[in-house]
Every structure is written in structure tokens, then in C-alpha cells.
Amino acid sequence: MTDTPMVAQYKRIKAEHEDKILLFRLGDFYEMFFTDAEIAARDLEITLTARGVGKGERIPMCGVPYHAVDGYIANLLKKGHKVAICEQVEDPKAKGGLVRREVVRVITPGTFHDPAALEEKKNNYLVAVTRSGESYGLAVIDVGTGEFRATGFTGPDRAAALHSEMTRLQPSECLYPQGDEDLKQLLAELGQLFPLLPTPCKKSHSWEESISLLREELDQVHLPEGEEFQAAACAAGAIIAYLRETQRVELLHIRGLAAYRVSDYMVLDGATRRNLELTRNVRGDIKGPTLLGVLDHTHTAMGGRTLRKWLEQPLLNRERIVSRQDAVENLVEDSILRTQLPDILKEIYDLERLLGKVVYQTATARDLLALKKSLAQLPLVKEGLTKAKAERLLYLRDNLDTCSDLFTLLAEALHPDPPVGLREGNLIKTGYHGEIDRLRALTRKGREWLAELEAAERERTGIKSLKIGFNKVFGYYLEVTKSNLGAVPSNYIRKQTLVNAERFITPELKEWEVEITGAQEKCIELEYQVFLQLRQRIAAEIERVQGAAQVIGQLDSLLSLATAAIYNRYAKPVLTLKDSLTIRGGRHPVVEVMMPGSSFIPNDTKLDQGHNQLLLITGPNMAGKSTYIRQVALIVLLAQMGSFVPAKAAEIGIVDRIFTRVGAADDLASGQSTFMVEMNEVGNILRNATGKSLLILDEIGRGTSTYDGLSIARAVAEYILKRLGAKTLFATHYHELTSLAQDYTGAKNYTIAVEEKGKDIIFLRKVIPGASDRSYGIHVARLARLPKDVIERAEDLLTLLEGEKRGKTVAETACGITTRGDGGEMVQLDLFSAQERRVLKELQQLKPYQMTPLEALNKIHNLQALLKGR
């Protein structure tokens, strides 16, 4: 059985795109065949049918109408497929036989940019990773907005750094060299955290090839020295090559490649971003309460994306931070300025993604209309900033290109109410193009003539109900009801008979019909051409509009921060280069907003590298320890983002990294035990923290046995105090650790105030100096309404255990601490027996230099006897 020509054509094209779903244009539909059809039917939930291909054979088929294809494409991408669009590139009416078809577009998750289907305030990134020597390179692009950047990672922790940056970017697709198993594995792991399509690349370009590719394509390429940036260049080259292959248009909106270093910004690893719930909460929802949710009062898509970027990459340079801060302050203080901007900004569409559509030649007349409306707002923004005082605002104002010429062009050329399609006319405004106006007049005149003819014929024939109508089959006709047939003149030619009427034509009518429809068709075609030209002219000015979009994005972000500051009562923090941190009346920005009707209780914090380096927070669970230590991290992050902070006052010494080790977010999926994960995270922290870092540690050592955990916790704390010098908040349930404050001047004890009322406790949520002497675990258990019997038995056991231990010294040589026997230190178990303790005590009290050798030998003998004794 030979294939029909069409099936052969299909198979030929499909052979080149085996890894994609091929959408094959057939008339008004995009069809899929064979396995594609089955996959699509399942994933898109549409009907699987079949198509006859001659000789009784049928092949599986399913299809979607062409005007609704965008939604279906989006769904296919969501399911992780790649899509190839195959269009009819010739006019089917022009020639007979098989129409020529070609793949005009390949859409993959990373190259998808339809603004209607994407989340507005989030970028959709395509990333490429490569390896070069001892470094990794990473390049990232958003084809919707035109953003293109690259960075590299080197050093022993480069894999972790790469992982971290990937979790920040959350790309939807990642290119990697085919055959590199390590990278493949990394991407598989990341794929567990967010949807990521790994795309292996067969061809690897060398560094030279990559650089020349980049230079060909882009106006500017700025890359610093270093092996990691060579790898970055290769990654960038891979992206360009991939785009050339899949996108059949010139990517005018991607103008340059900017290099960056992850260390230019505050370093936040994936765990920290998750633990602090910056843009997603711990459960992984985006909808739940997050810091971004509290701050986001942006009015434009660009603003939303910019704000997110600022949040994810807090700054390290004091001047840059203060520059943003001053702008926020200006907006906070100047209510008139602040209340003017929202109305103006609300009318601005997603300029960046609209430009993407222009570049991809998919922008419709409605899109250009949206562009026009947005451009109209630009001079108002500029005007609104006239009275601004802050340097950054003035800078934005002065660098805002209002693109007034483009606005004028669109205002003059574009029809004020165009349809969705491009082949229905009404794209161009009257008065812009002479020929279009003429054709329109002609059409109108023709219609007027028809109306006149109708009136004239009615008079001539006396048939008052005579009508002129139109349909696709017969064109224009004269319709006469059956009862009036007698009055029909002889020059009428009968064309169609209906139940109640007959339809006629006249030669004159047909002449006019040809003119009118001819004019209409010509008009539509001409409008289409003129529209394409218009679109081209906009495309030529992309850079200017992009620049304006970025200014708007920044302004909107600053305004959002100011709005959040006023609404949530934030204060302006003072930023210093010192190593200390003082917060008065600090609050958790997310928790305080999520507690309607209750009052969040503010607390102070003082951290430095002297006497307040490591704050040990003990106290009952549920009392607010975790909230407290997290709020300190969030306040520092907000400050370094340029925002105001939820506190009465704050002085923040700039921090280079924030690390968190919080809670037991079990990584069952990655096949590691909780404790292993915890140790990995702690190890990462201890290796990478510097004296300028901020560490937030919550319940270290919880995932293992008590003594192991306590030992590790203590050792970690001592390491931080002695070696790292990083400011640390250490929340723990091990009360033994409170003795650190006695042994190290840098450690201080704090606890959460709790008031006892008989058998109940009241959480006062106030952080006070001192050590908690009790866990109140049983009180909490009572609050959780454990059965009364269980509670009472627990209380009895507690008294027993406490009674045995209180007042006795404990040989804590395992922990390397000597106690002073002042009691109040709870220990769960006895490490040594009574004999051993006595022996140790005696040993401690010996004075070897005052003993004769014989005395010493005797003493040893006695001690051994003691030990053997029982």
C-alpha cells in the first residue's frame, strides 16, 4: 500500500521532527496523525478519529481549529511536549495538487511566550548549562521579554551553586550537552522541584564558535575573563543555536548578552529561599502567603517581574541599596506623587511580551492597539515624576523615552476597534492610506447604490416588499415574495426559489456585485499589507520601547515597595558596612499580615561580632522561636533589597549571605533521610559561610539520637563562635547548650517569655534575655489535648527524672564542658555509673606534681580497684 501524496508529505516532515508533536495544517484545522494523534487525544482531551487514506485504510487523526490553537499549544507544552507547526506555504487556490507545506515554528516550553497563556508577573526562562574544565557555565534567556544573561560557577562548591541558581530561575526548559550524565542527573533532581524539560543538544560548540555565533546575532557581548565565563559563553552559544533552529524569525528584541556573577548579589541557596517563603511557601504553593505576596502592589506585568527579581537578588552595594531606598522614601512621603501614579500605570499593558509578539510576527491589530494605549501613558508618567526628589526617580524620569512618534504613528494608522483576525479588514484607520480610503469609499458607495437600487426597483415595480439580499452562494439578489411575482419585470433572471419567495438577479446588479466584492477583497488584502508594514516599523524601534518598559518596571516596583511600607507601617532602615545588626520592634512581615484580628508582638534583636554573635533561643515549641529567627532574616533581606522594614527602627550591617537550616522538610523524594539532608545543609553552611554571613539555625540535631544530636549541635555552635564569626540565631530544644553563654563571650541566651497559670501556660511571645529552664513540653501536650491519663503519667515520670538529676553534677566529658553543679540543667539520661563518676572526680582532684611516684602508683591501683569493684 503506497501512501497518498499527503501522507507521504506528512511522514517526510515528521521524520525531521520526531521528538515533537507535529501540527499539520489542513484547511481550517491543524491535524495530528499516528502516535501524535493518540498523545494529543489523551493530553488535550479531544476526540481521536481517523482519516481515510484511500483503499479503505484509515489512520488515526485528531485536530483543532486554527483560530483556537494557542490554548491547545499551551496545554501540550504544559504536559512537557514540544510542538512543531506546519503551515501551508502556498495559496491552495492558486495551484492544484498537493500544497507545499513547511514547519514554520517550533515551540518548546522554554521558547513559549504567548502572553495570554503565561503567568504575567513571572519570567519564562530557557536555560543552557555546559561544563568546561573545572567550571560550569549557565546562560538564561526569556524569549518573551528579550532578557539574556550568562554566568559561571567555579570552585569546589560549584555544583551546589549551580543548583541554587537553577532553583532561583526555575526555568521551564534546560539545554545540556548530550552524553553528560552528571548534568542530566542534576536536571532530573531539579525536575522534582518544579516542571523542567531537559533537552539534550547533540552539537556542542567550541568556545570560538560560540563567541562568533554570539557576535553575529547580538549587538553587544560583555563577558569577563575566567574559565567559568568561557563555559558561560558556550552555554549562550548553545541557546542561540537552538533558537536559530526552532524560531524561524529574526530575534530583534534580543540585543545583548549581559554577564553577571551570583556573588554580585546576596547569596541565598535553594533551601533558604524555600524556608523563608520568599516566592513560594514551604508546601510549594504560589498562592499561599509569601513575602512577595505582601510586597506586591504592582500595577504592571513588568513591575511584577522586576519586583520578583529584586526580591530574589538582594543587593550588596550600599550605594545601590540607598539609591532605591531614597526613591521609596520619596514615594512614601509625597502622597500626591504616590497617588497619581497608580491610575497611570494601570493602563500600561505588558510591553515586553507585546514586543515579543511583534518580533515573532504574531502581533495582531489588537496587540498594537494595546501597545498604543500603553505608549499614551508614558508622557503622563514622565509628567507625574516632575516633582520627584530622589535621584533614582529623576534618573528614571529623564531616561524615559516617551516614544511619542510611535504613539502618533499608531494613533494615525490603527483602526480604533480592530477585530481579532488580520484578514477581516478594519485594521487601518480612515485617513491614513489613500488607496484604502478609496476602496472603502467604493465599497460604501456600492452599498449605497444597492440601497438606491432597492428603492428604485420598489418604485418601478410597485413591489413594496422587494428586498436586496446577499449570500455566499448567489451573491446579491432581489428577493420578491410569491404573492408579488406577477409584478416582476422581464429583465429579472430567476436564480433561486424559496418557500415564500423567489430570488432574481439582473446584469446590472451583478456588475456592481463584482465591483463591490472586488473592492472589499482588495481592501482587506491591502489593509493586511499595510498592517504588516506598520508592525515592521514598530519592530524597528523595539529597543526604545524595551527601554521604556524597563523604566516602567522599575518605577512600578519602587511604588509597590512604598505602598507596602505605608500600608504595613514599615520604617526606613539604616544601612551600614559594620558587622552589627540592631532591630527595635521587629515583626515578621508575612505572619503579621496573615493574622487578622490578632496582634503580632514585636521584638528587638541585637547581633554583632562581639558579645552578641550567637543568640541561643530556647523555649517551648509553638512559642514563636521559629517566627522570631525568620523575621530577622527577612528584615535583613528586605533592607538589602532597598525596601523599608517591618520594625520601629533598624540598623543593618550589610550581609553577604543568609543561610537557613529550618524544620524538617523531608526530602523523601530524593531518597535521603531527614537527618542526612540536615547534615548536608549544615555542612554546606559551615563550608560556605563567612564572617559577614547571617545564619538562621532551627533545631539542629533533631533527626538523630539525643546525645549525637546534642554533641553535633554544640560542636557546630562552637565552630561558629570560634572560627566563623558569622552572626547566628540558633533556636534549639537542647537546654544544655545554654551553658555556651558561660563559656563564650559571644554567645547570649534568650528565651520566649511564658507565663504559667496553674497547669496552663500562656505564650507571651516576647523574647527576653535568659535561658528557659523548662520545655513546657507537657503543657503543650495538654494544649494539644492528649488524653488525660497520658498527661498525668508524663507528669509523674518528669518529676521522677527531674528529682534524680537535680542538684547532682553530671560528667559531661562527652560534651567537653565542665559544669558548676548549679542545678537546673536537665539531662535525660545518666552517662556514667556512680562508680565511674567517683573515679573521675578523684582523678580530677589529683595533683600529680605534689605526689611521689609511689603515691601515684598507689592511687592508680585504688582507682582501678574501684572500677573493678562492681
Restricted to residues 106-165, the positions that interact with other proteins (CB under 8 A) are 145-149
Residue (147 or 556) nearer to other proteins, CB: 147
Which residue number, 475 or 547, has a Cβ lying nearer to other proteins?
547
Rounded Cα distance, 195 and 709, in Å: 36
> How many residues interact with other proteins (rule CB under 8 A)?
71
User: Are the C-beta atoms of residues 167 and 270 closer than 8 Å to each other?
Assistant: yes
Burial category of 558 from C-beta neighbours within 10 Å (exposed 0-12, middle 13-18, buried 19 and up) = buried
Q: Which is nearer to other proteins, 100 or 222 (CB)?
A: 222
Residue with cell 503622563: 380
Query: Would you count residue 392 as binding other proteins (CB under 8 A)?
Result: yes
Residues 757-816 that bind other proteins (CB under 8 A): 757, 762-766, 768
Which of 184, 572 has the CB closer to other proteins? Answer: 572
Shortest distance, CB of residue 559 to other proteins, whole angstroms? 14
Identify which of residues 120 and 541 has a Cβ nearer to other proteins in the complex. Answer: 541
Exactly one of 191, 293, 419, 547 binds other proteins (CB under 8 A); that residue is: 547
For other proteins, the closer of residues 377 and 732 by Cβ is: 377
How near is the Cβ of 324 to other proteins at its closest, in Å? 9
Q: Which of 279, 293, 290, 307 is nearest to 558 (CA)?
A: 307
The footprint of other proteins on residues 593-632 (CB under 8 A) is 596-597, 599-602
- Nearest approach, Cβ of residue 407 and other proteins (Å): 7
Whole-number Å distance between alpha carbons of 212 and 241 = 11
Closest contact distance (angstroms) between CB of 711 and other proteins is 34
Of 77-85, 447-455, 707-715, 754-762, the segment contacting other proteins by CB under 8 A is: 754-762
What value, to the nearest 5°, has the Cα angle with vertex 136 and ends 133 and 142? 145
Nearest approach in angstroms of CB 400 to other proteins is 8
The residue range among 388-396, 444-452, 475-483, 495-503 that interacts with other proteins, by the rule CB under 8 A, is: 388-396
Q: Which is nearer to other proteins, 600 or 659 (CB)?
A: 600
The string of DSSP codes covering 537-557 is: HHHHTHHHHHHHHHHHHHHHH
Alpha helices in 434-499 (DSSP H): 434-461
At 131, is the secondary structure helix, strand, or coil?
A: strand
Report 200-259 residues binding other proteins (CB under 8 A).
219-220, 222, 255-256, 258
When binding is defined by CB under 8 A, the residue of 67, 216, 225, 386 that contacts other proteins is: 386
Helices (H) and strands (E) in the chain, counts: 27, 28
Binding mask 694-733 for other proteins (x = CB under 8 A): ----------------------------------------
Contact set for other proteins, span 164-183 (CB under 8 A): none
- Residue 429 or 805: the one with the smaller Cβ distance to other proteins is 429
Contact code string over 281-300 relative to other proteins, x by CB under 8 A:
--------------------
Residues 21-50 that bind other proteins (CB under 8 A): none
Q: C-alpha distances in angstroms, 42 versus 63, 121, 521?
A: 12, 30, 41
Q: List, as own/partner pairs, every contact residues 371-376 make where C-beta atoms lie below 8 angstroms and the sequence separation is at least 24, other chains included.
A: 371/410, 371/538, 371/545, 372/407, 372/410, 372/411, 372/414, 373/347, 373/349, 374/347, 374/348, 374/349, 375/402, 375/403, 375/404, 375/406, 375/407, 375/410, 375/545, 375/548, 376/347, 376/407
Cell of 614: 550567637
CB of 219 to other proteins, least distance (A): 6
CA separation for the pair 629, 591 (Å, rounded):
13
Alpha-helical regions (H) of 670-808: 674-688, 706-719, 740-743, 777-783, 788-805
Report d(CA 63, CA 41) in Å as an integer. 9
Candidates 203, 215, 494, 569; binder of other proteins (CB under 8 A) is 569
Nearest to 181 by CA among 171, 189, 172: 189
* Nearest distance from C-beta of residue 557 to other proteins, angstroms: 11
Distance CA 129, CA 838 (A): 63
Of the pair 145, 643, the CB lying nearest other proteins is at 145
Among 83, 127, 376, 480, binds other proteins (CB under 8 A): 376
Task: Please tell me what DSSP assigns to residue 721.
Answer: I
Distance CA(270)–CA(154), nearest Å, equals 18
For other proteins, the closer CB: 375 or 524: 375
As measured in angstroms, the least distance from the Cβ of 260 to other proteins is 6
Task: Choose the stretch contacting other proteins; rule: CB under 8 A; options: 31-39, 174-182, 544-552, 846-854.
Answer: 544-552
Q: Please state, in angstroms and rounded to a whole number, the distance separating the CA atoms of residues 298 and 289.
A: 17
Q: Could you please report the per-residue DSSP string of 367-392?
A: HHHHHHHHHHHHHHHHHHTTT--SHH
Q: What is the DSSP letter of 723?
A: I
Nearest to 223 by CA among 232, 213, 235: 232
Q: Cβ 501 to other proteins, closest distance in Å?
A: 53
433-472 positions binding other proteins, by CB under 8 A? none
Q: How far is the CB of 323 from other proteins (least distance, A)?
A: 5
The residue among 722, 683, 687 whose CA lies nearest residue 700 is 683
**Mask: binding to other proteins, 308-347, rule CB under 8 A, as x and -?**
---------x-xx--x--------xxxxx--xx--x----
How far apart (Å, rounded) are the C-alpha atoms in residues 64 and 101? 18
Closer CB to other proteins, 260 or 432, in the complex: 260
**829-834: long-range contacts (C-beta < 8 A, 24 or more apart)?**
829/706, 829/707, 831/707
Strands 467-471 and 101-107, sheet pairing: unpaired
398-417 residues in contact with other proteins (CB under 8 A) are: 398-405, 407-408
Could you give the string, one character per residue 514-543, with x where binding to other proteins holds by CB under 8 A and - elsewhere?
---------------------------x-x
Strand partners, 88: 101
Cβ 223 to other proteins, closest distance in Å? 12
Q: State in angstroms the smallest separation of the CB of 136 from other proteins.
A: 21
As measured in angstroms, the least distance from the Cβ of 340 to other proteins is 5
Q: Please identify which residue in the block is written with the cell numbers 532561583.
A: 168
Between CA 835 and CA 842 the distance in angstroms is 11
Q: Closest approach of Cβ 752 to other proteins, in Å?
A: 9
Residue 738 CB, nearest distance to other proteins (Å)?
A: 19
Interhelix angle for 542-567 vs 391-398, to 10°? Answer: 150
Give the interface segment with other proteins, choosing from 48-56, 204-212, 380-388, 480-488 (CB under 8 A): 380-388
Residues in CB range of 654: below 8 A, 6 or more apart:
316, 318, 321, 575, 576, 577, 640, 692
Which residue, 221 or 488, is less far from other proteins as judged by CB?
221
| Interface pick for other proteins out of 216, 225, 755, 789 (rule CB under 8 A) | 755
Dihedral angle computed from the Cα positions of residues 835, 841, 843 and 847, in that order, rounded to the nearest 10 degrees: -150
Q: Which of 34, 194, 260, 449 is close enough to bind other proteins by CB under 8 A?
A: 260
- Looking at 238-246, 469-477, 712-720, 752-760, which segment touches other proteins (CB under 8 A)? 752-760
Q: Which is nearer to other proteins, 343 or 435 (CB)?
A: 343
Q: How would DSSP label each residue in 286-341?
A: SSS--HHHHH---SSHHHHHHHHHHHHS-B--HHHHHHHHHHHHHHHH-HHHHHHH
Q: Which stretch binds other proteins (CB under 8 A): 282-290, 384-392, 636-644, 694-702?
A: 384-392
Smaller CB separation from other proteins, 152 or 746: 152
Q: Which three cell numbers stand for residue 236?
A: 549562550
| Residue with smaller CB distance to other proteins, 83 or 381 | 381
